[in-house]
Structure 1
């Protein structure tokens, strides 16, 4: 029997109805059974956090930081285990998964150190015998909505009375809802929503590095990163050469189970994302013709048990095309041609999204 993972609320492990999480590289394997949180669970958790707030917020910053260091130490001890579990749960390769664990360890240690660096501000006053200063004070209970969470949890968090702030990562549709509903309660909001992230490749770039950078940014993690490159905007003088080199490099990527050595690209995270990838590839075929590489679900042998799709490259994509406008969140790259650096910047900004961007150039003055 697979292990059941319960919700931890107010110092207790809480049971309830469960759902399966299957390995997207091998759907015969049930990674675990996870308890479905309810709105009542969210309320209880928020109430528990509010009850602990006074004691926790009065604890000196260095003492709170010491607890974050303990978390980092626990992650360090379980480094290999967590990397492999992440691979089985969401499909990314073991090296990428371990890199994510390492990043988490570093983040906990960084913010643990911040506990000893909590400065305020002393502001000069125009009045005698008046001193003005500002210090940092805890805001209260914060709800964190991380990728691949479910809408019911989002609604419950936004409505939970003790919650004073929300940090959200997810789709534009749900993010807009969080903004609308959270604003009614005057919550502090931080929203990271969709992206159609461009990488601009200028003619003066370090060519080989630019090819590697775009391949990595577009296809690693199976393109399932908010900041993944989904548009490569290439300056005309090197366009044909760059497209040919990028396609050649992409064809060398190995797709498979991320637990196996030598694999570059794992599966889509679930069947729904696989269907989304294939839908946009079909749209690309209708609007832009056959992709220069990829474009198919991988089948046969072990591929039949997972959600595998080939890294896919479409070239000569125009600004009005679907692949230039809509987020895929998968291994599908649209290559576009720009006349010059100014045209490339204009094309990069011709989107409703505003998440991330990069420029490949050896002339730093082109960047600013």
Structure 2
């Protein structure tokens, strides 16, 4: 890819330059531009939605048999696998994740399309129990045009989780990728078309979310929005959707508790806590950013944890051995630094890290080290607000009643982790913790077959799972009259003319 070339975007099947301002996609490890493109304009949004609506009505995609749509989705999965290294390197350039992680995300995207292809061709409609002289059926139909608004931290995996079930259901999809990471969505659209998806059934509109996301959400022909991102933006979308009476899926922020009980396997717990907060440089909604450790175990556990965290390899995302790459941007690193300063002002003590990495290649990119706070209570801002960076706050606890109260004392309820050798104890605690996902003796493991989402300010609705396809469909009931005689009411009350 040449950085001077301005990339076209996909507007209802037409690949052309956007009408908005020209901007760059930057490599966070060096701050250098890796691609240029023109953002979509509001006129592009209107053209895209109208074109997608026409494709939905007339391309025949919605009318194809489920197994026929599934065949295209299987082909998309195959093409992603065939182009996996190219896609992984492209995502590395787009958002600075280490190459090992981007390979896993690409593999996840392929698996997602394969899973929803299977879900599509095996989805059953239902003949419901009869309650009268009729046969009743429950069927599902596509909605029309749906919008997928995706984040910058794991583009291709997030896009696949929205696009695959939406296409499987028969809808046309408009992807609004994060402004700063547009490249994977564009490539995914090309793959979908190459696999046989009709023109216009997928579109990609790069640019500012506050402009394009608003326009998409408000458009009367957009019948559903699936959004992953910040809670403030998610609530704004929810207000618009309420006025439209439009369903939404909102996967939002988190401030997830990780709990180490006094009987935990320390090797597993240390490894899991490190992975939960420092992989992806902490730029993950499910990051285990609040650590609660049984007081009797606290000091030896923290010694082991911080010693291990100090060895995490932070550096060039191209290097196969790198564990943590840069943060997404200079502005985001400054935000993380402000939270570190806030934690210190609140009385916290830095046990590890806390200052940007300097020297050599570190000066080119937006690097920040693993950082561990202690000495703070759970009611402090850094324990309550999502930092979205590699910052862990550790707190000891004395009894499980107080632990549950603290763990649930958050506006967020997306995920949690529990470390214990006693599975009965972990099960009981896991049922008390308020979260959409609870990991026990592991963390940040995902399965496309298992629903995912949050409670409270962490979101609405669920993605993934076999029935995730139904999120993108309308349910309809059909009644087939089987009565031999006309309806009695009409016969009993019919007036006879004189």
* TM-score band, normalised by shorter chain: over 0.9
The gaps in structure 1 that reach 5 residues or longer are none
CA distance in 2, matches of 1:79, 1:301: 31
In the alignment, structure 1 residue 336 sits paired with structure 2 residue 395: yes
SS across alignment from 1:86: helix
Match of residue 207 from structure 1: 266
In the alignment, structure 1 residue 188 sits paired with structure 2 residue 238: no
Q: CA contact under 8 A between 1:118 and 1:136: conserved in structure 2?
A: no
**TM-score, length of structure 1 as denominator length:** 0.96
Match of residue 347 from structure 2: 288
Q: Which moved more, 1:105-114 or 1:233-242?
A: 233-242
Match of 1:137 among 132, 138, 141: 141
| Cα distance per residue 1:165-187 (max 9 Å; x no partner) | 11111111111110011110111
| Cα distance per residue 1:268-319 (max 9 Å; x no partner) | 0111111111111111122234311111111111111000011100023201
Match of residue 47 from structure 1: 50
Match of residue 312 from structure 2: 253
CA distance in 2, matches of 1:242, 1:173: 36
Match of residue 96 from structure 2: 91
| Cα distance per residue 1:121-157 (max 9 Å; x no partner) | 2221222x32212011112211111114222121011
Q: Which moved more, 1:185-194 or 1:48-57?
A: 48-57
Q: Report deviation, 1:207.
A: 1.2
Runs of 4+ residues over 4 Å off in structure 1? none
In the alignment, structure 1 residue 20 sits paired with structure 2 residue 24: yes
SS across alignment from 2:88: helix
Match of residue 197 from structure 2: none
CA distance in 2, matches of 1:309, 1:328: 13
| Cα distance per residue 1:308-340 (max 9 Å; x no partner) | 011100023201211110000000001112112
Match of residue 334 from structure 2: 275
The gaps in structure 2 that reach 5 residues or longer are 153-177, 179-208, 429-498
CA distance in 1, matches of 2:327, 2:66: 41
| Cα distance per residue 1:240-289 (max 9 Å; x no partner) | 11111111110000111111132110000111111111111111122234
SS across alignment from 1:26: coil
CA distance in 1, matches of 2:399, 2:8: 55
SS across alignment from 2:259: strand
**Structure ID, larger Rg:** 2
Tell me the number of residue pairs that the alignment of Structure 1 and Structure 2 aligns: 366
CA distance in 2, matches of 1:296, 1:234: 25
Aligned-CA RMSD value: 1.3
Alignment of 1:230-245 (within 5 A): 230-245=289-304
